[in-house]
Amino acid sequence: MKLDRRLPAEDVDEHLDLELVLVDGLLLVGAMQQGTGRQFVAQSGTGHAFVMDDSAGHSGPKPVEFALLALGGCTAFDVISILRKMRQDVTGYEVELSAEQRSEPPTVFTRVKINHRLHGHITPEAVKKAIHLSESKYCSVGAMIGKTAQIEHTFEIQPEEKEKGGADEVVPVRTRVA
């Protein structure tokens, strides 16, 4: 399997000035009792494998959970890369995700909340800019999920405590990104 096959320009719609990248994958039926369970082993084009299952089998995340985690990973990759380029001193970073889904099929996401929790010496302006760039330009997973869901970003900055001087109070900065 190949991950990064590029289509020649003549194979792309003549009105688009784009180069398309194809992403391959493989989905294999996992070991399960006949007639029950829906466990699959997924393998990416780069050879990484993982198990996905439903809530009954509970041997791996459900596919929709992978979609939410992919959104968190996509925006986190962007934000940390941008902050590093801005020479921000990030010593820790977590992304917390929550989502609401339609009750009727297809049970797409209708609202997603992403809270970026950062540690270090970081300016709120830099975080706002990094999140904005991820959301508006770089995060392809966000662009797809954003077709059905309102995506809301918030962030918290937990400054590192000063090593010398000791007892300074550390106050986290919590901000909603519009």
Residue-range definition of the domain harbouring residue 43: 5-52
Same domain for 47 and 72, yes or no, is no
Spatial contact of 41 and 47, defined as CB atoms under 8 Å apart: no
Residue 118: inside a domain? yes
Domain containing 77 — which CATH number? Answer: 3.30.300.20
Same domain for 29 and 81, yes or no, is no
Same domain for 39 and 94, yes or no, is no
Helix, strand, or coil here: 26?
strand
> Cα dihedral sign for 29, 30, 31, 35?
negative
Q: How far apart are CA 154 and CA 147, in angstroms?
A: 20
Spatial contact of 51 and 84, defined as CB atoms under 8 Å apart: no
Q: How many domains does the chain have?
A: 2
Same domain for 33 and 67, yes or no, is no
Residue 21: inside a domain? yes
Amino acid at 81: S
Same domain for 31 and 90, yes or no, is no
Spatial contact of 122 and 87, defined as CB atoms under 8 Å apart: no
- What the block records as the tokens of 51 is 């198990």
Same domain for 129 and 161, yes or no, is yes
Residue keyed to tokens 């809270």: 115
Same domain for 87 and 133, yes or no, is yes
Residue 57: inside a domain? no
> Mind listing the pLDDT tens digit of every residue in the chain (178 residues)?
333 344 344 444 444 445 566 777 776 655 545 556 688 888 888 888 888 888 888 888 999 999 999 999 999 999 999 999 999 999 999 999 999 999 999 999 999 999 999 999 999 999 999 999 999 999 999 999 999 999 999 999 998 876 555 444 444 556 666 5
